[in-house]
Structure 1
Amino acid sequence: MTGLFFGSFNPIHNGHIQIAKYLLINHLCDEIWFVISPHNPLKKNDTLLTENKRLEILEAALTGEKNIQACDIEFGMPKPSYTIDTLNKLSANHPEKTFALIIGADNLRNFHLWKKHEEITARWPVFVYPRPGIDISAISHTHITKIDAPLFPLSSTEIREKIEKGEDITDFVPAHAIKSILEYYRQFL
């Protein structure tokens, strides 16, 4: 099974990598594709680094990672990006693969707002990883699996704030991506 980890990855951080590795180590997925979303329709777009720079950072971050890769399929699709459209396109392009969706607990709380969310859960398994301070214990669905992945105490927003304040981020982002993260976000913020 190929896990599709959607996100803006603005920037990618070690928590994202840990979740992917958890899914691989626990044999829930055989491979993980990080699908960069150029524009999430449920989020503001004003703090997003360009999609090509985020892809460059993501590819650097994944250097040496086994069975984990970047996917830029949404770059050529209409914006804003809707997960159902991407899932349909990937399934059509790769009929030999079985896909699963990977989302955070924060996204599960808003899942009912997603375009064709019922179709997503009917056609593809959904893995939900925990987010600090978000309780999803009352949410239950037959095609949604809550995974016990490790919590990462920092978000991409907080990493951007640390960069803006000139604070050290080396413990929070993949080593291969530090140089480009600092270069691009210092110019952007």
Structure 2
Amino acid sequence: MKIGLYFGTFNPIHIGHLIIANHMAEFADLDQVWMVVTPHNPHKQKSTLLDDYERLHMVHLATEDFNKIKPSDIEFKLPQPNYTVNTLAHLGEKYPQHEFALLMGEDNLNSLHKWKNYETILKYHHIYVYPRVNSGEMDEQFVNHPKIHRVGAPVIELSSTFIRESLKNKKNVAPMLPHKVWEYIDHNLFYSK
């Protein structure tokens, strides 16, 4: 099975995340997309980041009706701070029957050369890139790279930061969130302070 890994804090997960994940699962040559929830880095200020398991629960709520999209807490079990190359190695050992690829926005691709062991990632894994607004010029070494695939997914101009700020300012953001996620946030008064 070919699995696309979509990493994020998902703080909170919103419809933009789901649109991208679903587009990749349906229109790229992937069998599933795993939403990999990034845990809180113990060495960084927590600020507005909700508890790891609260964010994971919201990803479960958001994806339960999508049979090709699965939540993953794989990074919760790895030593922190963690690097993508370590997660990929761990997944390869745990699920040798699967092939893992990365999903990322064009903006992240532009900084891929700064990632730990990025050459190793590109040697063993494909990367599926979705468009982003104002992502800048693509790094020359990635333009015609055989492991990098550009996917014409919808451009979503929506961010978790915008949603958190809006909730803090008592704005209605219900249409921007999966319904069950909105209910869960509203019931728990998350991000409202």
- In the superposition, the TM-score normalised over structure 2's length comes to 0.89
2:56 pairs with 1:52: no
Runs of at least 5 residues in structure 1 that lack an aligned partner in the other structure: none
Report the aligned-residue RMSD. Answer: 1.9
Deviations, residues 129-153 of structure 1 (Å, cap 9, x unaligned) = 1112213445412211121110112
Q: Which amino acid aligns with 2:56?
A: L
In the alignment, the residues of structure 2 paired with residue 121 and residue 106 of structure 1 have an alpha-carbon distance, to the nearest angstrom, of 17
Give the structure 1 partner of residue 62 of structure 2: 61
Give 1:16 deviation, angstroms.
Answer: 0.9
Partner residue, 2:120: 119
Which residue matches 1:90?
Answer: 91
Contact 2:28 2:151 in 1 (8 A): no
Q: Is the 8 A contact 1:39 1:81 kept in 2?
A: no
1:186 aligns with 2:191: yes
| Counterpart selection for 1:145 from 137, 143, 149 | 149
Any idea what SS the aligned residue of 1:78 has?
Answer: coil
* Matched residues, number: 187
Q: Partner of 1:7 in structure 2? A: 8
Q: Secondary structure at the match of 2:175?
A: coil
The answer on whether the counterparts of 2:24 and 2:30 sit within 8 Å (CA) in structure 1 is yes
1:76-108 CA-to-partner distances (Å, cap 9, x unmatched) read: 111122111100001110000011101112211
**Aligned-residue identity in percent:** 37
Could you tell me which runs of 5 or more consecutive residues in structure 2 were left unpaired when the two chains were aligned.
Answer: none
Match of 2:100 in 1: 99
Distance 1:116 1:45 in 2: 27
TM-score (norm 1): 0.91
Q: Which residue of 2 aligns with 1:174?
A: 178
1:154 corresponds to which of 150, 158, 162 = 158
Could you list the structure 1 runs, at least 4 aligned residues long, displaced by more than 6 angstroms after superposition.
Answer: none
Whether 2:135 is the aligned partner of 1:131: answer no
